Each structure stands twice: as C-alpha cells, then as structure tokens.
Structure 1
Amino acid sequence: MTKEFLHFVIMMGAAKTVCLVGIFLALSLCCSSPIAHGQLTDPQEVAALLAVRSNLNDPYKHLNWTKKYDPCTSNWTGVICFLNNTDGYMHVQELRLLKMNLSGKLAPELGQLPFMKRLDFLWNHISGSIPKEIGNITALELLLLSGNQLSGPLPDELGYLPNLTKFQLDLNMISGPIPRSFANLAKVQHFHMNNNKFSGQIPPEISTLPLLKHFLLDNNNLSGYLPPELSQMPKLTILQLDNNNFSGSVIPDSYGNFSNLLKLSLTNCSLQGKMPDLSGIRGLLYLDLGMNQLTGEITSKRLSENITTIVLSHNKLNGSIPSNFSGFSRLQKLYLDDNLLSGFVPSNIWENINFTSETRLDINFAGNLLSDISGILNIPSNVTLKLNGNPVCANSIQHNISLLCGPYNGTQEALNSLNKPESTCPPQSCPIKNYFEYVPTLPDACFCAAPFGVGIRLRSPSISNFPPYREDFDAWITSNVHAKPNIPLYLYQLSVDSIKWEPGPRLRMFLLFFPEYTNDSNAFDPSEVRAIADTFATFTIPGDDTFGPYDLLNFTAQGPYSDILLPSLSRSSGLSKGALAASIIGSLICASAILVCTLIFFRKLRQRSQAEVVGNQLVPKVPMKMDGVKAFSFENLQLATNNFSVNAQIGQGGYGKVYRGTLADGIDVAIKRAQQGSIQGDKQFYTEIEMLSRVHHRNLVSLVGYCDDEDEQILVYEFMPNGSLHDLLSARYRAPLNFGTRLHIALGAARGILYLHTEADPPIIHRDIKANNILLDAKWTAKVSDFGISRLAPVSDAKGVTTAHVSTNVKGTPGYVDPEYFLTHKLTEKSDVYSLGIVFLELLTGMQPISHGRNIVREVNTACHSGMMFSIIDRSMGPHPSDCVKELMALALRCCLDETKDRPTMLEVVRELENISSMLPEPESTALELNLNTSSSGNSVRSAPSSSLYDRRSTYVSMDLPGGDLVSGVIPPIKPR
C-alpha cells in the first residue's frame, strides 16, 4: 500500500476500515472465481452484447447480462449461440428479446454480430432510429422489430442483406421513403411494414424481387401511383396497401394478371377510374377496394369460385349487381353498399353455399338505387341481407321486407364467437392453483394437464369468419408444431382458447398446447416447451393460403413452465458446482460488505439531517430523458418565442401559458409552458409525453418535443392554425360552418379516438374529450389534443380476458363527464363516447354543454321529444340535408345515454358517421365552406385558434377566400352572431 492510502485508511476510522476490507475480500474472491476463466464466446461479440445492453433500459430485470459470465455458456437471457468449429468460439446466432418491456435504443454494435441469423425485439418500447450497421450482418435472415417506437428513415444499408427473408417493422413510427436498395433483397419473402409513417412513391424496382410473397404497407402515408410492375412478381400472394393516399391514381389493368395473388386489399386509398377486370386472378380469395372513388360498372367477368370476401363499398360504381355473383361456395362477405347500383336484388347469391351451423354470409347492399326484390324472400337463417337506403325500402311493408331495411348492425359479434365443447368432467378436480386444467378437446377423457400458451395474430387472413375454418386451422398448426423431433402434435393437443377480430382486419387468438395424453405425465418437459416456442419464434410454420402470415405476440409459461423461457445464472449449464459455490460465497461476502457500508452511510446521513432544518417536502425534480421525442433547451424556446413575449402568447389554462413560436428550421409550433411549482402540471407533463410519444395518427395532435430543464417544464406541439372547435363555434365574427364541414370535423375526431381505443398498444382512454381539445389544422382536419389526464385502458390477460373498467378519481370538464363514471368512478372507453356525443350536440346546435344552468343533453332531448328538433339547430349552419341531421342527432343522443352499456362503441360511431357522410349531396360532401366562401367584395375570413393550446388573443390567420356559395349562391357579408 502507498503512504497516501494508509493515511486515508487511518483517517476513515475503524468502522470504515472494516467496510473497505470487506469489499476488498469480496472483490478478490469474485475475481479469483473460476467463472472468470471459462469464456468461450468470441470476445468481440461479448463486447458488442455489452454495448447493446448499455443502450437498453430493463425495468423488470429480465436481462441477466453481466460481464462476469460468458454469454453463450451461462445462458444470457435471449442469447442463443452455436459453436463454430473453424475458430473454436461460440457465436451469437439469435437475439430473442420478445416482449420484455425493454426501452432505450438499438446500439450500432449490433452490426458486430456477423453470425446472427435472427434479431428479435418484438413488442418492446425501443425508440430512436434503426442503426445502419445492421446492414453489416450478412447472415441475418429475420429482422423482427414490430411493436416498438422506432422512428426516422430506413437506412439504405438494410437493402444489402443477402440472406434476409422476413422484414417485419410494423407498428412503429418509421418515416421517409422505402429505399430503392430494397430491390436487392433477393431472398426476402415478407415485407410487413404496416402502421408506420412511410411516405412517397412505392419504388417500381420492388417488382424485381423474385420471392416476395407478402407486401403489407397499409396504414402509412404513401402517395404517388400504384406501380403496374407489381403484377410481374411471380410469388406475390398478398398485396395490402389500405389507408394510404394514392390520390388520382388508378388501379392498373395489369393487376388482373397476378399469377398467384390470393388477397388484394386497397381500401381507402383515394383511387379513381374504373374497376379493373380481375377475373384473370384465378386463385383470388379476398378482394377489398372499398372507400375509394371507383366509377363505372363492376366489370369482373368471373371471380375465383373460392372467393370468401368481396368489399366494394363507398365507391361510385353504377349499373346492376352482376348475375355472376353467385356460385361462390365459400363466400362469407359481400359488401356493395353506398354505390349507385340499380336494378334487381339478385336472389341466387347463396344458392351454391353448403350452410352449416357455423357458416354465415353477410350481404350489405345498403345505400344504392335498387328497386326490385323479386325472388329473395326465402332467405336462409345464416344469411344477413341489408337493403336500407334503397328505393325498394320505400315500400318495405308492402314487400314484407322491413327487417331488411332497418339500421345496419353488421355481424361482428357472430364473427368473434368461438364455440367451445362443454366439459362433463367433475369440477374442482384439477389443481387450478398450479395452472392445470382439463384438456377441452378430449371430451371423452378427463385428462388434467398444464397448458403452454401462445398468443398469435393472423396478419392478413383471406377469410371474414373463422369458425367454419376451425378444423383446417387446427390441422395446419398441429401438423407443423413439434414438441418432439419430427413428431407432429395430435389434434387434441391444441385448443383455440379465444379469438378476436382487430382492425386490419386481423385475427388475434390465444392458443393452448397440452401435453400428450399418457399416464406418465401431465406436463411438457422443458425441451418440449422450448421446441414449441422455437417453432413460433423462428417462424418456421409454412404459410397457408387461407390464414396467411402470423404475428407472434407472447408466450404464457405458467405453473411448471414458469422458469423455462427466462434462464437464470443459477442453473446455467456452463457453470460447475464448485464455480457456482464460489460465486454464491463471493456474492454473500459482497452483499455483507455493502450492507455494512450502507448502514454506516445512512447512520451518518441521519445524524447530519437531524442537525438541519427540514425544508420543502416536495420530491425534487429529476431531469427526464424520453426516447422518441425531441428534447429542446430552454434557450431554444426562448429564441422561438422572443423570450416568451406577451405578443407571442396565444392562450392560458390551468396548466400554464401557451405561445406561438418559430423554431430555427422555420417550423411554427405551439409551446405550452407549465406554471412553476405546480404538482398537477408536473404529473400532466409526464403523462402527456408518455402518451403522445407512443401514438401516431392523422387525427391526433403531434408532440414535437419537450423541455425539462431544472425549473422549466415545456411541451412543444405542431401548430394548428385554425384553432379549436370551441372557438370555431363560439367566435363572434366567423364564417358560416355548413353541415358537411361539421360532419367532416366530427368524423376526424371520432377516428382519432377510435385509434386510441383500438390500435394504440395498450389502448388509451382520453378522459377529457371536449370542443376545446379538438383542434383544426390548415386543411380543417380535426385532431384530438391534450392527453394530460389520459389513462391506459384495461388490457387483456394471457387468455384475452379484459377487465371492464379502470377505477380512478373523476377528472374531466363539467358538462362532458360521463354521468356513470361520475357516480361509480369506473372509467371505460364508453366515457369517451359520452364526451364525444356532447361535442356532436355542440356541432349541431351551437350550444355550450352547460349554460345558465341548462344542460345540453336535457335541452336537446326535450326538443326532440316535442317534435321541435330543428328549432335548436345552429342557424349559422345554413341549408342542410334534414335526413343527415336527424341521423347525426340520433347518434349523438345514443352516445349520451346514461347507461354505459347502451352507448355505441367508437367503431360503431365511426361507421355511422361514414354512412351519414355517404348520404350527403355532392356539394355538401365535397365543400369545406370555411375555405370556399365569402362576400363578393373579397373580404377575408379570420379564424380563432384553440383555447386549449391557444385562445382568441392570438394573431388570427387571415385567408383570402374566393366568392361563391356552392349551396345557395353568394353569401352576404358576415354579421355578428
């Protein structure tokens, strides 16, 4: 020891010396342990893994990665290796980190794992961009990054992975174009990149990929045209591009020449022109071209006789319903609603279907010009036919078809049902506490066993109703999943425990696998569990035409399987008993030394604190770092707002003041600065960032960034130049707001909330839907804002069972709060439905939710019951279609029913709004009057920004508007309301 160190020990005193000696002994024992001398993994890969670990946050301590142990021989969690006989090292073959609640970023050092074949970070919270260095992993076959918060563009380098077969990036926030370099992925079979922010043109070069089977890019921001060259892809079976914006593009005629296409889904893509003849696609099972602007007649001469689904809704197709829409023995859904079809309702559609108790046919011809129904009165009970909105329904009583002309409710409940065999086994005979249960698929034998659960989701099935295909599905899974080498499972070993249709449409299901029925064991052994898990995690189940590709969502390993899939160092096969004993002894000494030091430290700290005056009891703020959202310095935002000048201030609320600012790159933003020292504001600050960093939708306000300096909490949003719906309805001087525009705003807000309820993962209940929190961008698109008091909705457990509500204190804005939530403190998604119903009533009446002691729901109900509904309609709406107003009023009042169970779901709300929108006359449905009308003298109309992020003190946005009213001629000069 040096003199300086001896002097230090003497000064520390006896107790601290004991502490230091204990630490030295512990470290010496740990370092001399045999654990330190058995490293077999390539040292470069060990260093790379440690770098990957340092970039990850692991709140649930799933990762046992530590430099004391060798990754491959000590069973690091999720690290799967192989021995390379050439260099004698073990190398990483797979990183399997499925659904471990990991956050942080992907480290560039991943590119230093050159032998890795499978990279799996599915269903975590990883943010940031995808490192270009992943393009160096030439052995990579599966790139699985779905369900994270990744952002930024795709690196071109990923297009040079010579062995990549599956490219799975869906449900992230990845933006920018699809790199043209992806045309080099000669072995790729799956492009699963839906639900991102991809933009720009689909590269025509993609058509040269020789093995691509599944091209899923739905729910992005793609534009341009549909490349005709895609039809040249020899292996393509699924083309799914729904909910993009190919405005003005047509469906190429060449798409009728796909040689192997099974599914073509292009709904809501802004496509125009005539429907191409698709009779050349002989194997087509699923066709969805709905919600476009297709015109002309339905020209397909003859579709595949095995087709299950035909959706051509919400277009402008005319002519008659083709007589050849018959003879489809597997048909489950035929939707031609909201077109201009005329003539007869054909009676032979279901003639060739062999109906069973599980077979259903759902037909929707609503909203057309059909006038004759001869021959369709003998409809089988398995068929649902809807004709509402056709001329034939005007005499529904005379034709005895009133049931066919009522409101359309669909058959979603029936499609979600799953018949299960009734058990005749004695109750309470299985040890339920150990997660054992009777095998439900063995009705003749009461075999009690422990199931292993697997959650999957069929990404793009070619069916619309699952029960008729249950036997085919069971056979497909059991014949390809092996618990023992080369031995498939018996059919009774699989139970489909639950199914649920989700947006897409995609089919989520929970599978239970049971051990073989013998007298020896009622549980799988560990190797069998791993074999089943490996089959799903490595995606080795071959594709199926009917069921398509699948997502792996989770494994449920309970009871006897609880420790099998998450290895711990204590049972590592790479450690000898002596090494393990030395490790335990060393750990105990280390723990003892740390405990002594901790006790001494806290004793000294307590003595010191007792001598000080107790100060403020508030917990000091800790600087925050939130991945996926830009962090601004306070100085940046000072510059953007001219030092938070009064002239820049555009609003103020309970949270703080709101300013309009311009960032260094010229982008206008709204900057919300919290009041200092506000506990409530502090909580809302973190909630807002947490929520908005995880969701993205065109009808939700985007969070640009935040500032979390020592004394400042500031949120930065996209600027919404046309303010809030509240100010639009209440501004003293404003342009008339026609019904079409009001409906457009209502539908946008509803779609944003529907996304929160059904597509956010986990789902979100907003809890403060109101006109102030519905903002309008430059194109009058409605966007929901202010997530400061939002709550996560109840999520399904392992078997898909969901709690009905969240118990919480009542929060929200008076007049918008769900009365049942107010009384019971039980928050549900229907609470948002109630609040949105109030917004609909405001849109229709111009009234405030509560004014001078009057409640808007009570006032509207009174007027409607007395036959005076139109007396309370906002006069500034101008001429309006009465049928559409009645429909919207009825929907609004159903949303505001006192009983939660009686209100519609958000999906039903959106569907009804879309149906009302399709009923509008052409001028109403296409004109946004705010953007098109003013007096002939060229006056400008000014709109007030929102009082949620803005208020009326803002510098209004001035727009020069051309004259001419599309409904009733030139609008006179605007008068005060």
Structure 2
Amino acid sequence: MFHNSAEFCILRMSASRAWTVGAVFLMWLFGSSLLIGAQDGITDPIEVQALRDIKSTLIDTNKNLSNWNRGDPCTSNWTGVLCFNTSLDDGYRHVRELQLLNMNLTGSLSPELRRLSRLEILDFMWNGLSGSIPKEIGNITSLKLLLLNGNHLTGPLPEELGYLPNLDRIQIDQNNISGPIPTSFANLNKTKHFHMNNNSISGQIPPELARLPYLVHFLLDNNNLSGYLPPELSKMPNLTILQLDNNNFNGTTIPDSYGNMSKLLKLSLRSCSLQGPIPDLSRMPILAYLDLSSNRLNGTIPTNQLSQNMTTIDLSNNELTGSIPANFSSLPNLQKLLLANNSLNGSVLSSLWQNKTLNATESLTLDLENNRLTNISDSINLPPNVTLWLKGNPVCINDNINLRQQCASRSDNVTGSQSTTNSTAVCQPQSCPYPYEYSPTSNLSCFCAAPLLIGYRLKSPGFSDFPPYTIRFEDYLTSGLDLDFQQLYIDSFAWEEGPRLKMYLKLYPVYNATSNSRNMFNMSEVQRIRRMFTGWLIPDSDIFGPYELLNFNLLDIYNEGTVTTSSGGISTGALIGIVLGGIAVAVTLSAVVTLLILRVRLRNYHAISKRRHTSKASIKIDGVKSFTYTELAMATNNFNISTQVGQGGYGKVYRGILADGMVVAIKRAQEGSLQGEREFLTEIQLLSRLHHRNLVSLIGYCDEEGEQMLVYEFMSNGTLRDHLSAKSKETLSFAMRLRLAFGSAKGILYLHTEADPPIFHRDIKASNILLDSKFTAKVADFGLSRLAPVPDVEGAAPAHVSTVVKGTPGYLDPEYFLTHKLTDKSDVYSLGVVFLELLTGMHPISHGKNIVREVNLAYQSGMIFSVIDGRMGSYPSECVEKFVALALKSCQDETDSRPSMADVVRELENICLMMPESDMGVSESIDTVAGKMAPVTPSSSVVKNPYVSSDVSGSDLVSGVVPTITPR
C-alpha cells in the first residue's frame, strides 16, 4: 500500500534497478537451465491457501514449518509437503502427501484439509494435536493413508470418513477419541487396516463391518466397547489379526463362528468380560497367537488339534477346568503356554518340554501357577532354556527338592527386556571421525559409515519371544526395503505394553572401497528408504504383523546436503563449482523474484488505487449499507472460527450479529483473490437492484483495509444440499420439495424476466439455494452472473452471451460448455439438475455416475420409482412422474428442447394443483401455492410475473411479495 508520491517514486526506482539486475543475469540463467531445471507448473492456488490455513491452526514450537511462507509449496520444498512430480490435468501441481511425523506440533487440524483434493497420505503421527478430527477430511476422496496416531485428539469419529473410497489404512490409535464406530465405515471397501486401539471408543462394534472385503488388521484394544462380539466378523475373508483386548463385552460368549476364520493368525480377546466355553479352534490352520486371558471362560480346554504355527497360548485368569490337553506337547513353535489362575487338574505333562528341541536362541515358558495340578507325568529334567512355574498347585505342597525353584515366588513381569543383537559382528567399536561409526554389519572388512537411525515398532507381532525370529525379521525388512541383508543392524529391542515390540534400527550403506573408509547413503536413497516406511510400501508379514515408524533421524552429515554420492566425497573443484553455481543461482533468482514482486506490487497499486477512487463511488446505492471493518469484526467476534458457517471458492461465510441485533451472513473474500474482486463488484451491482422473496437480499458491504465483504440476510436453515444429504437429520416430504422447487424457479424467473436488464445466473446448484427459517427457498451467489444481451436500436437482441465457461461440474449446460454461448436455457438445465436432486437425493456426480444419465435410464426402463428418495415418505405417484418428466425435459442436451423458465413455473403450478388436499396443509404457507395461484398466460413479449393476476400492484412486483389471490 503506497501512501504518497515519494513512496511510489522509490518503488519505480527499485523496479528499474531490478530490471537491470535481471537483464545482466538473463543470459546466464538460460545457459544454466540444465543445472537448475525448468519448473513444470506451480501448485494449485487453492491448495497453497489451504496449506496456509492448515498452518494457522497449528502451533509449531520447533519452527519446523517456518519455510511454509516461502515460495511455492511444490517447487520450494516446503517441509513435509510432497507433490506429484509433474502438473496434472489442470496444469497445476498438487499436494500428494502431507508428512508431518514427529514434529512436536500442537494446535488442531484445520477443516481446510479438504481443499487438498488430490492428497493421498495425511500423516500427523506422534505430535501433540488436540481437538476433533475434522469431518471435512471425508471429502478427500483420493486419500489412501490417514495417519493420526499418537496425538491428543478427542471427540467422535466423523461419519464422513466412511465415504473415502480409496482409503487403505486408518490409524487413530493412542488418542482420546470417543463415541461409537460409525456404521458408514462398512463402506470402506478398500481399507485393509483399522488401527483404533488405545482410545475411548464406545458402543457396539457394528456388525456391518463384516462387509469389508480386504480388512487384514482390526485393532480395537483398550477402548470402551460394549455389547456383544458380532458373529458376522467371521465372514471377513482376509482378516489376519483380531485384537479387542480390554473392552467390556459383559457376559457375552465368543461366537463359535470365530473358529471358521481360516486366515486368522492372531486372536486376542484379553480382559473383555467374556464367559462361556472356548470355541473349537482346529479350523484355523495358521493361528499362531491366542490370548483369551483375564475373562470368565469356563469348561474344559478343547482337545482338538491346533495349528502347528502356535507360538503363544494365554488362557490364564479364567475359570477353566479339566486337564492340560496332550496336543499342546506337539506344537513345534510354542514359546509361551500361560494357564495360571484356573482350576485345571491332573498331571503336568513333561512332554511339553521333552518333545521340543530348542536351539540357543529359542525358549519356552510354562506358567501353570494356581491350579489343582497334583503331579508331573515324568522326570523334572528341564533344559536350561525352559522355564516352569508351579506355585499354588498341590504338586508343590510336598517339599520336593526337585521342584523347589519351580514352586518358588517369582516376579509378575514375564515379558522380555531390552536386548542387543548382532554381538558377534566382526568389527568392534573403534574410533571414527564424527559422525561416522564403524559398521558392525560387514563380515568382509571394517569401515566407517554414517547410518540412518530408525525408531520402529511391531504393533501386534505373532510371537512372544523375538530372538528366534531375528534372522527372519532382518531378511523380511531388508528384502522389503530392497537392501542387502548385511545393511541392517538391530541396535536394541524391548517389549512394551500391548504387547508391542519396540526397536531401534541402524541402516548402513554398502561398503565402497574407494570412499577412504567413509561411507554414506546418497540423498535420493535416503528419501527412497524413508518413503518406504512412511508410505507403508514394505509388504505385510503375517508373523510380524503391522508396524509403525516412530522416528527417522538423520545424522548432521546428511542434513548438510553437501554430499551427493554414496562414496561420501566430491572433488574440491566440483564443490567450488557447485558453491559458485549456487551463489549465482541465488543471486539471479533473487533478482527475478524481486522484479516479479515489484511488478505485482505496481499492478496491485494501480488496481487498488483505481478501485479506491472509483469503486466506492460507484457502489453508493440506496438501500445498501457500507459497513466498516470494525463493525463486521465485532459482529463476528473478530471472525472467530466458531462463527464460520460455510466456505466457497470466494471465501468464508460467517454468522454475525450487528449492533442493532440483526443476524446476518457475512461473506469474506479470501486474501488476494482476483476472482473474488470481480465477484464482489458483480454481486453488489446486481443484488443492489434485485428484490424478490426468492432471492437472497443484500444488506451491505465492506470495502476497506484490503477487505472485501458482503453482508446478506441470514438463512438459518442452510442450503438445500444440506437437507438432501444422507447425513441430514430432518427429511423433506415430497410436498416440501415441490415447494422448494417452485420457489427456486420463481426466483430465477424473476431474474430472466423482471430484472432490468435480465440476468443469467450461471451457477445454479443445490448449495446456492438457501432456506430461511420458514423453509422459503432463496437463490444466492450471483458472483458468476451475467447480464442478458441488451436490444439494439431496432429492438433486436442476441439470444446468448459469449463468455468463458464457468460454473459447477454436474450442473453445466452441455451446449454452453461446448459453444461458450450462455443463455437463459443454461439456467433451466442447472435447475433441472436441482430438481433431480430433490427427487432422488443423489449428487449431480457421484462415483463417476451422472444424475441426469442415471435418472434417464431408470425413466426409460420404467423403473423410475427405484431411484426416488425413500426418505420423503409417501407421495402421489402421478405428481412425482410429472415432476420427473419436467426435470428431464429441463436437462435435455439441446437448448431448444428445454422449456423456458416461464414454462417450468407453469408446469410446477400444475403439479401443485394435482396434489391431494391432505398435502395442501404442508404447502399452504408456501407463497399460497397451487390452488390459490392464477394460471400462467403465455406472452410473445417479456413475461411479467406470470403466476399472479394482472391486477397485482407494481409495488408488489418489485418486492417480490405474492398476495393471496382468488383463482380466476
């Protein structure tokens, strides 16, 4: 903003210098294009603004997002923002991933996330975010990974998340989420992973989730779930882990059908208040981990043959009776058999350990404490890696010296402790220059290398003892990462509550003999490895289960960014060249950026100056108040987010209360919106002279301090689209829908025939039809409207306006789209689509299906009532059929085949006249509809208020008020 001529002159001088600097470097810049490359498109401006809005709701203590105000998100490498490599179909780059893992962020998630319309990965894991999960995330139909675990999020799960068609993984574990699981989650047909453990989710598990065809991991442990265990879950064809520990299915039994889960590897129902018998598990061929402990299960342990994969059987703390099944002795991979605190009797089977051959890394724990076991079937000779606990059994009453250790007290903690592996590596720790260290992974030679440091956790492994699986794990992980087996070193591991297995891993580069014994990964390899973890691109493993990345730390040498090869070194000449080139690039780009900024500021200066000198004078119109910024800020509590009621391409809409107590809607243009400025002026100019009960009234505007705001009457019942949504709590009857169609049509007819000159709306859609407290329909949003052609001196006027195509997909007139010729019939087409929405409740475009085509097919096949919205209750079929016919006629591809708006209003009136008397009560308050309306009389000239008799006063026509009229 420039306040005097001196400031403007300084700006002109700065611009001149910038031009000079730009010219000096221009040739060099083109010559260096191979070094710096050409940028293929910029980021979609809607997404740029969305990222800024997202940042505004975050508290970034560590300043990790400080570069989010610099340059373009996709081409300037904003922290955590990953984009598609090239422009997409609209010429822009788009954000593909938002990777903000473990950045110490607090604050809340912004609803503006929905504007990242091409986003595939949303990752806010391991931060301190609070507040609820925005329902608007459900609008990101491209989303594949929703990763919000490890925060402080509260509130319920939004139902809208159940409509994400491409979602592969939802991780919200370790938050404070409450409320039930929405039944809409049964629509997640591509989802493989439900990780919702460690929250406060309550209520019944929806049986409808059994419809999920690809669900692999179902982790809901440590919540407040209740009700019963749905037997239907056994129908999930690919389920491998069912983990529901620490919930309260009070007094219910384990369904017998769970024994049919042929792909289940882990069944964990610990502390779920279950009772009844243990079902037959012999039909589960790969089951490896069974935990039914701390319930009230009774009866005997089934003696059917169990899976040979069994590693863990925990049936402790129940009310089981009978003897220990002999088939437990024939499980070759068994690591833990926990049967403590039951009422088992008979003998302790020595075959449990005598039949096993254990190597140095394998162990077996048998916890049989506090039962009624009376003796041991054979000798007590235990191998050194077998642990047996017998305290609290009759076999311990006699002070048998051979059982003294097994009958003694012990610690309750039987989980593994932290351990270090690979201790047999050839290389011993020696001195390497910081931050390098000797790689312990090579059996060929010792070398200094810079490892990648990774915090990693197995969330639900299918075993209880890790050392026997170490080599298998190393092979699994390095194969998944496409690394050599020797590049992975497990620095340490520890069991955590869950049980979960936490590890610290080091990944080393491959030895390079030419590197002077200092090796490191190149940055492209670092990025590739990180993406393998963060994108969950490592293939799943049944035995290791789901994993999570806790952190991915780079040593300082990687953050310096000076080394670009795996050898870790570059020549001095190359380094000097890169540094000098970088300086030159920086200077050049600085000059160019300065030049562009100055040019933009000059252009904005002229535009703002012009607007400040001309627009305010031209907008001074009777009946439209000019508000100050302060007045509107006070009306909205300084535009507090709690007063926001909507948002569109223009900007945000707030509910405000003026000083006189009047409730208004305030539409505030987003900063820097050129399109918004055009819409701002257009809407003021048009609405200031439009007065009709079916058009939203403009009360005033604000045009100061760089702000552009429009003030309307407040429509307390929101948009028509809101009430047609499946999420709407209030349903609309057919009579009410007919009323809303009639009101909308009359408002548009007024635009086409009563406005002087007539107006083409150009953006009619269900979300631009607002409903007041009495459910009167009012057409809104005239930012895209255009004046109809003005007749020439001979009284002739073209039938169309030639203009760039604008509007909303699904509502666009096909002929206008192809020819760029906008007519009144373009509005008829859009309104016809709205009529189809009223009839079916469908969206104009949904899952690739077009509402016009779908209804047309149903109509032509005689199945029209199959697509009618069942929520509107009973309706007269003849009236519905006529309404459908009118809607489809309005949506004809050819302009000439569509009715005029006057014809539309007339036909709606006729349908109203056909409505039964019993429904008239619903419609009685609607502009005195139907039976109290006069018939429309066609005219060769402009139709004047065709739905009232000719003796209506001119003042009534201007106000749009339709008085009660006796039919003629």
Asked if TM exceeds 0.5, the reply is yes
Q: Matched residues in 2 for 1:359 and 1:499: separation?
A: 16
Amino acid at match of 2:81: V
Residue of structure 2 aligned with 1:379, choices 373, 376, 382: 382
Are positions 1:514 and 2:508 aligned together? yes
What are the superposed Cα offsets for residues 149-205 of structure 1, whole Å, 9 maximum, x if unpaired?
111001111000000000110001110000000000000000000000100000000
1:559 matched to which residue of 2? 556
Are positions 1:53 and 2:47 aligned together? no
The alignment-based identity, stated in percent, is 52
Q: How does 1:361-510 map to 2 (within 5 A)?
A: 361-395=364-398, 397-398=399-400, 400-409=402-411, 412=414, 416-422=418-424, 425=427, 428-431=430-433, 433-434=434-435, 436-481=436-481, 488-510=482-504
Q: How does 1:515-664 map to 2 (within 5 A)?
A: 515-521=509-515, 522-562=519-559, 576-582=585-591
2:238 matched to which residue of 1? 235
What are the superposed Cα offsets for residues 805-835 of structure 1, whole Å, 9 maximum, x if unpaired?
xxxxxxxxxxxxxxxxxxxxxxxxxxxxxxx
Amino acid at match of 2:246: N
Tell which has more relative contact order, 1 or 2 (C-alpha 8 A, sep 6+). 1
Amino acid at match of 2:556: G
Are positions 1:255 and 2:258 aligned together? yes
Q: Matched residues in 2 for 1:27 and 1:419: separation?
A: 67
Displacement of 1:354: 2.5
Displacement of 1:308: 0.1
Contact 1:38–1:70 (CA under 8 A) maintained in structure 2: no
SS class of match (2:327): coil
Are positions 1:163 and 2:170 aligned together? no
1:635 matched to which residue of 2? none
Residue of structure 1 aligned with 2:208, choices 205, 208, 211: 205
Are positions 1:130 and 2:133 aligned together? yes
Displacement of 1:331: 0.5
SS class of match (1:403): coil
SS class of match (1:324): helix
Contact 2:426–2:442 (CA under 8 A) maintained in structure 1: no
Q: Matched residues in 1 for 2:277 and 2:375: separation?
A: 26
Displacement of 1:138: 0.8
SS class of match (1:470): helix
Q: How does 1:672-821 map to 2 (within 5 A)?
A: none
Residue of structure 1 aligned with 2:319, choices 308, 316, 319: 316
What are the superposed Cα offsets for residues 642-676 of structure 1, whole Å, 9 maximum, x if unpaired?
xxxxxxxxxxxxxxxxxxxxxxxxxxxxxxxxxxx
Displacement of 1:453: 1.4
Displacement of 1:425: 4.3
What are the superposed Cα offsets for residues 421-459 of structure 1, whole Å, 9 maximum, x if unpaired?
24554754311x22x111112244212211011111001
SS class of match (1:303): coil
1:100 matched to which residue of 2? 103
Are positions 1:224 and 2:232 aligned together? no
Runs of 4+ in 1 over 4 A off after TM superposition: 20-30, 32-35, 410-415, 422-427, 570-576, 583-587
Contact 1:160–1:185 (CA under 8 A) maintained in structure 2: yes
Contact 2:207–2:230 (CA under 8 A) maintained in structure 1: yes
Contact 1:50–1:65 (CA under 8 A) maintained in structure 2: no
Q: Matched residues in 1 for 2:197 and 2:17: separation?
A: 54
1:897 matched to which residue of 2? none
SS class of match (1:310): strand
Displacement of 1:564: 6.1
Q: Matched residues in 1 for 2:560 and 2:264: separation?
A: 43
Displacement of 1:39: 6.9
Contact 2:41–2:93 (CA under 8 A) maintained in structure 1: no
1:834 matched to which residue of 2? none
Displacement of 1:284: 0.4
Amino acid at match of 1:536: F
Q: Matched residues in 2 for 1:471 and 1:544: separation?
A: 14
SS class of match (2:299): strand
Contact 1:190–1:212 (CA under 8 A) maintained in structure 2: yes
Q: Which moved more, 1:80-89 or 1:290-299?
A: 80-89
What are the superposed Cα offsets for residues 308-336 of structure 1, whole Å, 9 maximum, x if unpaired?
00000100001111111111111000000
Q: Matched residues in 2 for 1:321 and 1:96: separation?
A: 51
What are the superposed Cα offsets for residues 81-104 of structure 1, whole Å, 9 maximum, x if unpaired?
112342221001010111001111
Structure 2 length-normalised TM? 0.55
What are the superposed Cα offsets for residues 98-128 of structure 1, whole Å, 9 maximum, x if unpaired?
1001111111111111111111111011111
Contact 1:160–1:182 (CA under 8 A) maintained in structure 2: yes
Are positions 1:246 and 2:249 aligned together? yes
Distance of aligned partners of 1:554 and 1:389 in 2 relative to their CA distance in 1, 3 Å threshold:
same
Are positions 1:356 and 2:356 aligned together? no
1:329 matched to which residue of 2? 332
Distance of aligned partners of 1:572 and 1:221 in 2 relative to their CA distance in 1, 3 Å threshold:
farther
Distance of aligned partners of 1:290 and 1:414 in 2 relative to their CA distance in 1, 3 Å threshold:
closer
Q: Matched residues in 2 for 1:532 and 1:449: separation?
A: 17
Distance of aligned partners of 1:266 and 1:561 in 2 relative to their CA distance in 1, 3 Å threshold:
same
SS class of match (1:173): coil
Q: Matched residues in 2 for 1:149 and 1:572: separation?
A: 46
Distance of aligned partners of 1:94 and 1:427 in 2 relative to their CA distance in 1, 3 Å threshold:
closer
Distance of aligned partners of 1:493 and 1:393 in 2 relative to their CA distance in 1, 3 Å threshold:
same
Are positions 1:86 and 2:89 aligned together? yes
Q: Matched residues in 2 for 1:443 and 1:392: separation?
A: 51
Q: Matched residues in 2 for 1:97 and 1:185: separation?
A: 25
Amino acid at match of 1:40: I
1:793 matched to which residue of 2? none
Q: Matched residues in 1 for 2:467 and 2:581: separation?
A: 44
Displacement of 1:464: 0.4
What are the superposed Cα offsets for residues 246-303 of structure 1, whole Å, 9 maximum, x if unpaired?
1111101111110100000000011011111111111100000000000111124111
Displacement of 1:400: 2.2
Q: Matched residues in 2 for 1:130 and 1:402: separation?
A: 56
Distance of aligned partners of 1:42 and 1:245 in 2 relative to their CA distance in 1, 3 Å threshold:
same
Contact 1:73–1:574 (CA under 8 A) maintained in structure 2: no
Residue of structure 1 aligned with 2:184, choices 181, 184, 199: 181
Q: Matched residues in 1 for 2:382 and 2:300: separation?
A: 26
Contact 2:427–2:439 (CA under 8 A) maintained in structure 1: no
SS class of match (1:149): coil
Distance of aligned partners of 1:562 and 1:547 in 2 relative to their CA distance in 1, 3 Å threshold:
same
Distance of aligned partners of 1:173 and 1:534 in 2 relative to their CA distance in 1, 3 Å threshold:
same
Q: Matched residues in 1 for 2:415 and 2:256: separation?
A: 37
Q: Matched residues in 2 for 1:270 and 1:152: separation?
A: 26
Structure 1 length-normalised TM? 0.55
How many residues are matched? Answer: 569
Contact 2:428–2:438 (CA under 8 A) maintained in structure 1: no
What are the superposed Cα offsets for residues 587-630 of structure 1, whole Å, 9 maximum, x if unpaired?
9x9xxxxxxxxxxxxxxxxxxxxxxxxxxxxxxxxxxxxx9xxx
Q: Matched residues in 1 for 2:332 and 2:504: separation?
A: 29
Amino acid at match of 2:466: F
SS class of match (1:343): strand
Q: Matched residues in 2 for 1:217 and 1:391: separation?
A: 39
Displacement of 1:305: 1.2
Contact 1:65–1:71 (CA under 8 A) maintained in structure 2: no
